Structure 1
Amino acid sequence: MRVFPLTVTALAAALALTACDSGGSGSSSKNSSACEIGKVSVQVGSASVAPAAGDTGEVPVSLTNQSAPCTLDGFAGVALKAGGTSASLSSLSGAKNQKLKLAKGDSATFSISYVRGKDGDAASLAATSMEVSLPGSDATQSFPWKYGAVAGNGSATKPNATVGAFQQAGD
């Protein structure tokens, strides 16, 4: 009878995966099935650039799995960098995370929304690059930030910018 051994194996695998997840967010709680930079291609798409200070812009980021099936469970990590300053972005208020499983060749997208700041203003972050990481992995990839200064929420180290939830792309 083959059903029983497969059911027991599936149950054991599910319990093993559940036991491995401590629910924390440190380097000791890596998810082995999490999508990783280096195993997915990441591209920053054509942005809807904020033309002037106070305007809002959108920067789409897409990724395509180039390896074994993996999972996106959480929000992308994005940090804007300017010289020696690094400012992490928070997730979009009210955005709901959806767990996405990507087979080889599958794609997903997320967007970065930002408010354009005044060039030279001490409360704006004159970002020159952004660093992207995926949930469950510490690996990062840097991209140029060519969309102007980002307005700060009281200071340049608290940029008025957010990261949206992953969305399945393609078919």
Structure 2
Amino acid sequence: MRATPLAVTALAAALLLTACSDDGGDGGESDPSQAASACTIDDVGIQVGPANAAPAAGDTGNVPVTITNRGAECVLDGFPAIDLSAGGTSSTVPVDKAAKATKQTLAKDGTTSVTITYVRGEKGGESSLAVKTLKVSLPGGADTQEFPWTYGDVALKDTASGTPDASVGPFERTGD
């Protein structure tokens, strides 16, 4: 009779030991985002638009920016830096106050997108920025890619600081 409880105890101990790993984990697969490095601007393709452009001054428009990984699996952690340039003036688009940063692992050919929301300014107006170029950089990176801005002037929240009446949202999964 004593052999049965002893065998059950030994089996339970063996099962517990096989569920453990040397690193203190649960023995399951590791989080792939820990092994992947940060995505770099040289390893991604970026597409701007098609946009839901603001038709007139005071209207709101949305410009999607889609990022496709062309290299090895990589991670996007945080928000991209978006700058709007008008000649010699450049303004950084602030992050949407309601947005929470996300961390996404992109497999090769995986895609994600962010949305730039802006208020159209009056063409040539004192409280507008005559944007010609959109600059995009990835979280943690300093390199940028530039794209033409064809969506009209952007209203300024604050003319003294040149802060645009615009915001950028978090990365959102696209595709499958």
TM-score range, shorter chain: 0.7 to 0.9
Q: Mark the runs of 5 or more structure 2 residues left unpaired by the alignment.
A: 1-17
- Computed over aligned residues only, the root mean square deviation of the Cα atoms, in angstroms, reads 2.4
Cα distance 1:50–1:132, how it changes in 2: closer, same or farther (>3 A)?
same
Q: Deviations over 1:54-97 (max 9, x none)?
A: 00000001011000111110011000000100000110111111
TM value normalised by structure 2: 0.79
Q: 1:46 aligns with which of 46, 50, 69?
A: 50
Q: Deviations over 1:110-159 (max 9, x none)?
A: 00000000011111000000100000111100000000000001217111
What secondary structure is seen at the aligned counterpart in 2 of 1:118? coil
**Take 2:129 and 2:119, find their aligned partners in 1: how far apart are those partners?**
11
State yes or no: 1:70 paired with 2:71: no
**Take 1:130 and 1:64, find their aligned partners in 2: how far apart are those partners?**
18
What residue is the counterpart of 1:57 in the other structure? 61
Instruction: State the AA in 2 paired with 1:85.
Output: T
TM value normalised by structure 1: 0.81
- CA-CA distance at 1:7 after TM superposition: 3.6
Identity between Structure 1 and Structure 2 (%): 48
Instruction: State the AA in 2 paired with 1:56.
Output: T
State yes or no: 1:154 paired with 2:158: yes
Q: Map residues 17-166 of structure 1 onto 2, 5 A cutoff.
A: 33-155=37-159, 157-166=162-171
Instruction: Answer with 1 or 2: which has the greater Rg.
Output: 2
Instruction: State the AA in 1 paired with 2:75.
Output: T
Please identify runs of 4+ aligned residues in structure 1 that moved more than 4 A: none
How many residues matched? 152
- CA-CA distance at 1:45 after TM superposition: 1.8
Q: Mark the runs of 5 or more structure 1 residues left unpaired by the alignment.
A: 19-31
